[in-house]
Amino acid sequence: MNAIWHICQFELTRLFLTKRGAILLLAFAVIWLIIFRYPVLAAANSLSNNTFGDNLAAFSQSMNLQHLIEWNYGELAIYWLFAVFAFPITAVLMSSDQLASDANRGTLRFILLRCSRHQLLLGRFLGQLFILASLITMTLFAAFAMGMSRDASLATSALDELFFVGINLFIIGMPYIAVTSLLNIILKSSKLSIVMIIIVVPIFHSIVSYLSTIIAPLEILLLALPGIGLIDAAQMPALELSQTTILPVLQTVAYLAAAQFLLTRRAL
Amino acid sequence: MSTLISCQGINKLYGSKQALNNVTFELEQGTTTALVGPNGAGKTTLFSILCNYHLPSSGQVSILGHKPGSNALFGQVGALPQDAQLDPRFAIKHQLELYAKLQGFSKKQASIECQRVLDIVDLSQTLNERPGALSHGMRKRVSIAQALIGEPKLIMLDEPTAGLDPANAKNIRQLVMDLSGQVDFVISSHNLDELEKLCDTVLLLKQGQLSQQKVGQVSSDMSRSMTLLLEGNQDNAQAIIEQLSSVSSVEALNKQEFILHYNATQSPNFDIELLQALAQHNLNYRQLTKGLSLEQQLFS
């Protein structure tokens, strides 16, 4: 366990103590600043406006998002809608180089004299999970603070929503990190791993979706793809143990098992 | 004496190419071993299998009684893999401390250990540098430093002096000599002169096959031959040496270098007789070596 923890800690320093990590963090901060400053703030104000709020309620109902109107903090509701799609991409970008560069450079050879491949894989995965959790926490509390600055009296009752959003974002991001681990081992390239997840996976999703209208059993293939339940997650009214929550966890376990299988057999 | 490394019937296939073919050998603890062979002979493949970077297609490998990659070997085996580099984004101290911590050192001990191994390779001033700020030779020495963390029982070095200037190469050789006795080394190199100075056992790989396992310095053949290197071209040298009664034959490698075969029973002090004869005929010599050079033993 110690080795896993040391590797995990090193991953955290990779983001917070390197130039590349600092640039990624800066980009992340700027993007979220823009999101908070414009869409979140504007939408939250609209939600609190009774006249406009009625129109928005009708629109939300058509999108199956009517439960968001009922949240204590509109800021959190709008944040959730952005974050549910933004954090999977963030997770992929942040974790895109879990093993590839180190394998190509030979750095893994130094590390593997001191720990097993299993410990390396798990340590780096956990490190990326911590990074994801810290990014979610920072932005989530920023959204919560925006809500509090508008109406502090609702803070206690909004804690449920805070918890719901945090846990769900974390669960949704997990399979993306795990599939990046797997693709790093298969493709030996961080850039190819990003391309594969952001471009190839959606294309594959579209093709399988189309084919499954002709051959229905093919739909099961979609379960192997990360992000298959993102829209369902956005529409989920509360934290619950449904397919939307369990599937990402199962996908994470499956991707990590496949990564472990390949890594123990791969020449490094 | 217990077994350091045992390889039984190791085969390694890359597609249809057989990189290692039924390689079997055993090394005892307390040895410094050279791994030699031409390019593509399988040296790095064998090295990688011993370090658990590659898996053999078949066969059994055991290091200090454990399979490569076993938890029991972490900290017991150090290695300098060929062309492996540290992460350019982190300071050397940061990376070496991670390696030490993975070997079980506490944070404070890891810092001390990091300083110790860098001191050994004379690079303690680079502690806070990133690898990119160092020369090739310095990076290699830092890589050797990482292999020394935790005083492992076995250190495997793949081309440790390749690309180094003579002064740095000499420092590395000196380091190996200094540590010999405390640590067992397996050194893969093309530099036979270097290996001859450092190693007492040789593994020769040719086309994936282990053709020779041990070249002892006191084999019967060596005790009856000497290698003589003269200064400058001295045309009559061979004839003068052949006149010595105990010399059975003289083989001229070139105009300056000769291999002398002699009857050791007849002349137990042949080296003294030879030197006296050279002095009498004003023949200056540069080097006189008992037995054959490693190059002669392996490739003649």
Test B55 with A265 for CB contact under 8 angstroms. yes
DSSP symbol at B179: H
Share of chain A above pLDDT 70, in %: 89
> What integer pLDDT is reported at residue B1 of this predicted model?
62
Answer whether A4's CB lies under 8 Å from A123's CB: yes
> What integer pLDDT is reported at residue B23 of this predicted model?
95
pLDDT surpassing 80 at residue A240:
no
d(C-alpha B230, C-alpha B226), whole Å:
13
Answer whether A47's CB lies under 8 Å from A56's CB: yes
Which ipTM was obtained for this model?
0.86
- Side-chain-side CA neighbours of residue B55 (13 Å): 10
| Element housing B156 (H / E) | strand B154-158
Test B69 with A110 for CB contact under 8 angstroms. no
Answer whether A75's CB lies under 8 Å from A44's CB: yes
Count other Cβ atoms within 10 Å, centred on residue A87: 21
A18 touches chain B (CB under 8 A): yes
Average pLDDT over chain A reads 88
At residue A59 the predicted structure's pLDDT band, cuts being 50, 70 and 90, is: low
pLDDT surpassing 50 at residue A251:
yes
Answer whether A19's CB lies under 8 Å from A81's CB: no
Give backbone dihedrals phi and psi of B6, rounded to 5 degrees, phi first: -130, 125
Q: Quote the minimal CA–CA distance from B16 to chain A in Å.
A: 17
A260 touches chain B (CB under 8 A): no
Give backbone dihedrals phi and psi of A88, rounded to 5 degrees, phi first: -60, -40
Residue type, B43: K
**Distances from the Cα of A261 to the Cα of A68, A117, B278, angstroms:** 42, 10, 68
Test B55 with A109 for CB contact under 8 angstroms. no
Taking phi first (over 0 means left), then psi (-120 to 50 degrees means alpha), and beta for anything else, what does residue B27 get? beta
Q: Where are the alpha helices (DSSP H) in chain A?
A: 2-16, 19-35, 41-48, 50-62, 66-69, 74-94, 100-105, 107-111, 117-150, 159-187, 190-195, 201-214, 230-235, 243-265
> What integer pLDDT is reported at residue B24 of this predicted model?
94
d(C-alpha A127, C-alpha A76), whole Å:
27
Q: Where are the alpha helices (DSSP H) in chain B?
A: 43-50, 92-102, 107-120, 136-148, 166-179, 192-198, 220-223, 237-242, 270-280, 294-299
Share of chain A above pLDDT 90, in %: 56
- Please state which of the ranges A102-116, A153-167, B147-161 shows the lowest mean pLDDT: A153-167
Give the pLDDT of chain B (300 residues) as one tens digit per residue: 689 999 999 999 998 999 999 999 999 999 899 999 888 899 999 999 999 999 999 999 999 999 999 999 999 999 999 889 999 999 999 999 999 999 999 999 999 999 999 999 999 999 999 999 999 889 999 999 999 999 999 999 999 988 888 888 888 899 899 998 899 999 998 888 888 888 888 899 988 998 765 555 444 554 588 889 998 777 788 888 888 888 888 888 888 888 898 888 888 888 898 999 999 988 889 988 887 777 777 776
At residue A62 the predicted structure's pLDDT band, cuts being 50, 70 and 90, is: low
> What integer pLDDT is reported at residue B45 of this predicted model?
94
DSSP string covering B9-30:
EEEEEETTEEEEEEEEEEEETT
d(C-alpha B73, C-alpha B53), whole Å:
14
Parse chain A into domains and list their residue ranges. Answer: 2-264
A residues 44-103 closer than 8 Å to B (CB): 102
Test B79 with A265 for CB contact under 8 angstroms. no
Q: Quote the minimal CA–CA distance from A176 to chain B in Å.
A: 25
Q: Which of B71, B85, B102 sits opposite A6 (nearest CB)?
A: B102
- List the single residue in B with minimal CA-CA distance to A118: B69
pLDDT surpassing 70 at residue A89:
yes
Q: Quote the minimal CA–CA distance from A16 to chain B in Å.
A: 12
A115 touches chain B (CB under 8 A): yes
> What integer pLDDT is reported at residue B218 of this predicted model?
44
